[in-house]
Each structure stands twice: as C-alpha cells, then as structure tokens.
Amino acid sequence: MDLLELRADFLRPEEAVRAGALLRNVDLPVILTVRRVQEGGTFTGDERDRIQLISRIGSAGFAFLDLEEDCEAPGLEKQVHEAGTGIIRSFYDRDGVPRDLTQRMAALARGAQEIPKAAVTPRGARDLLRLLEAFEELGPTPKVLLGMGPYGFPTRVLAPKLGSLFCYSSPPDVSAAPGHLDPGTLDEIFRYHLIGKATEVFGVIGNPVMHSLSPRIHNAGFAAVGRDAVYLPFLVDDLAAFLEVADRLGIRGLSVTIPHKEGIIPALERPDQSVRAMGACNTARRRSDGKWEGTNTDGVGFLAPLREAFGGRLPQGLGATVIGAGGGSRAVVHALSTNGARVLVLNRTVQRAQQLARELGVKAAPLDQAGIREMGGGFNDLIVQATRVGMSPEAGEDPLPGYTFTGRETVYDLVYVPETTAFLSRALGAGCRVIRGSQMLLAQACEQFLFFTGHDFPGDAKQELLRIFSRYPA
C-alpha cells in the first residue's frame, strides 16, 4: 500500500471528531473523506455539519482531503491548504460514463493544488473505450480516473500505465466499491507496482470472465521470465468495440473464451490450421504490423492431462461422449476424433450437435434419455463435460443428471471454478477417475504463453500453480 483513505463518515460521531489521532499510528499518507449518502457514503447530517466536522479534523496533517465536485467551502479549502493538505476534487457516476467526462475532469480542479478525480461505471466495452479516450484527451495532467464494476476493472490494474495517480483497493473479502481488489492481489497476481508506461498488456476476453484463473497463470509466467508485462481479464459484451479498446491499449495478446471463440475469427489476418480445422480460436496475438493472428491451444491443452491419465497415450477404440456443441466442444471433438476415438456429441439443441457431428465425422444425439441410451452403445469410456454448466450462474447444476456412473468411466469436466463441480463430485462418489478443468486450463495456457512470448512456460512456476489449484475449495 502507498496511501490510506480514512472514511470518517463510517465512524461514530464521537470517533469522527478524533479521527486526526489516527495519523500518529500510521506511517503512510492518509486521505480524509467524509462522504455524503448521495455519493455512496454514510454521512446523513446536513452539509453545514459535514463541513464543520471536516474543518475540525482536516488540519491534523492529512495528505489529502477528498471533496465533491459541488462542494463550496472556501474557508475550509483555505484552511487545509495552509495546513499543507492537498485537495482531491471528485465526482462519481454509478450509472455509466458521462459523454462530457473529459470536460468535467478538466474543469474539476480549482487551482494547481487540487487533483481531479472521477469514478465512473462502464456498462460495456463501448463505455470502456470512451473512458480510455478521456485518458488520452486529458494527457499527462495529474488526475485519478477509474472505472467501477467489472467493465472498468482494467483501469484499476492499469492505473500506472494509463496515467492515474493511484487506484483504490479494499481489505480481503471486503469491497468498499465495485471492482476493488485487495492490495495483496494487486501486487501478488498483477504486480501492480511494476506496471509503467512501457508495460505490455495481455489478457483474456469472455463473458463471463472475471472468475478466470488465467491471470494467475500468465502473470506468474511473466514474473518467472522477467518480462515487463501484465495479463488481466476483460469482460466483453461487444467484440468489435473491444478490438478498438485493444488498439488503444496496445494489447499484445489475448486468450479468448466463451462466447467469442468463433466471433473473433473474422478479425484475424492469419488464422492457423488449428483455427481452420476447429472453427474456433482461443488465442490471438498482434503482429508487428498491428494485425492479429490466431491459433487454438484447446486441443493440445485438452489432450495433455488425458494422455497422462491413460499412461501416455489414448487407448485404441476409446469411446467418448462430449456434452455440448460450442467452441470448446469443437476443439475437444476434433482432438479426440483425430486421435482415433469414437465420439458421440450430446447437446440440448440437437441441431447444433448434428451440425458439429457432420463437420467432424462423429455421431450426435440429443441431451436427454435417448442420448443417454446412445452412450451405452460404447461411448462411455470417457465422458467430457464441455458446457458452462457447473460454473456461476449455474453452479451446483449437473449437465447429465439422468446418467448413472458405473465407476469405470473417466470423467473430464472443462469447468475449473469450482475445482470440483457437482458433476465431478457425483463421478468421484461412484469411483470414477476424474480430470479437472484446471489441468486443461494450465496445459493450454502454457501453449498460449509460448505463442505470446516465444518462451516455454517455466517449470517451477507451473509446479507451484498446480499446488495452488489443488488447494482450491470444491
């Protein structure tokens, strides 16, 4: 941590008047804030009472006093300036990103001693783009500009690169505002204090995506090879708008997950053979000419732990059922069928399963009792769960509730949060051998890391990640 913020509006009145005493017990600069209810705070008194409270404690030696855009208190401002305290002049928008953001930010500061601050709420990639445009238009002037919520998350991690003086964080398991991380996560996973103007940006795009473990993997890899780079999650609702965001940030490489694996293909200048064969792309990198090229590491990542489970190679004539017919399923079916397995695809919308089956030369059936009976015809040596069922908001649900495990199946769930889904838990209870999604995630991420950097993923970092993932709660 570099600074602390004291939210005196959360204190009882008798505590608030003695808030200045805190400064004797900390060795960091402290921002004093007494936030009104209408700005998301808890101070319920009238404005005169609030100004009197701030005046009473504001000269105690705080580094900054945070005042709102519409706060008019010339006497207070003169008092804190004479005490050597700076003023942060702020406004909040919890509904979106105002179209006049740049103009409001430019007009906020009332003199050289004030720092303008805005916390706004992007509602999609297009809003995030507008926020990044504001950074560029405001230039190098001192400021604090942050996006709240999941779409604004990148502006917090990238604050040093974008030109924001600082970002805000909260203690572990407590979020004082939407999008806050705890200081440990900022430094341990994202290496916040090493981020600068030259730091390269990589990330994972998807919807949902904030649960992703990929930042933990890739940032550990960057740290191990000493690369000035950071990898973070981008929630993406509009792929075209996000690609403009990627241009603004100079993003060097992207992992691509649900639902954008197929949609990103038209943006690729050069998809490789794996993308053409699978009809899906899970990895893209920017070439020196600024254009994107893509590959798919899902197949390689899927097969690596499966081969390990079978002693190094897949058995001849392996009968496999794949649940789902999306981009992830396509990679799995392609990997299995090209390695000699007989494959049955089950999907709720049977037409999608049939289309996938026709394209890859496998069988298809509906995800119902008829499909389960079809599995009994030699397609249940391996059962692969390749849908989002089991992860939030469908956590706890089972994608194949009508199937009774015998204990002889190998069961592979591509979902990795939670580490043990309801589906895997039921398979474990029947005595099945199971493969978790985190094993595939790490294997395919190592291939992505090589594609991004030209370096093999460091072995020590990989082993440490495996130990971390094995401790994740069921």
Q: Do 270 and 217 form a contact (C-beta atoms < 8 A)?
A: no
| Res. 143: pLDDT tops 60 | yes
Q: Which domains, ranges and CATH numbers included, belong to the chain?
A: 4-196 (3.20.20.70), 219-296+442-470 (3.40.50.10860), 299-435 (3.40.50.720)
- What separation, in Å, do the N-terminal and C-terminal C-alpha atoms of the chain show? 32
User: Rounded to whole angstroms, how far apart are CA atoms 463 and 468?
Assistant: 9
Per-residue pLDDT tens digits for 73-116: 999 999 998 999 999 999 999 999 999 999 999 999 888 889 99
The model's pTM: 0.89
Active-site amino acid positions: 261
Residue 284 has pLDDT above 70, yes or no: yes
Express each pLDDT in 326-337 by its tens digit: 878 989 999 999
Residue 317 pLDDT grade (very low, low, confident, very high; cuts 50, 70, 90): very high
Maximum Cα interatomic distance, the chain, rounded to a whole number of Å: 84
Residue among 91, 94, 96 at smallest CA distance from 66: 91
**pLDDT by residue (tens digit) across 202-234?**
999 999 899 899 999 999 999 999 999 999 999
Collapsing DSSP states into helix, strand and coil, what is residue 201?
strand
Are 151 and 122 spatial neighbours (Cβ–Cβ below 8 Å)?
Answer: yes
Q: How many residues does the chain have?
A: 474
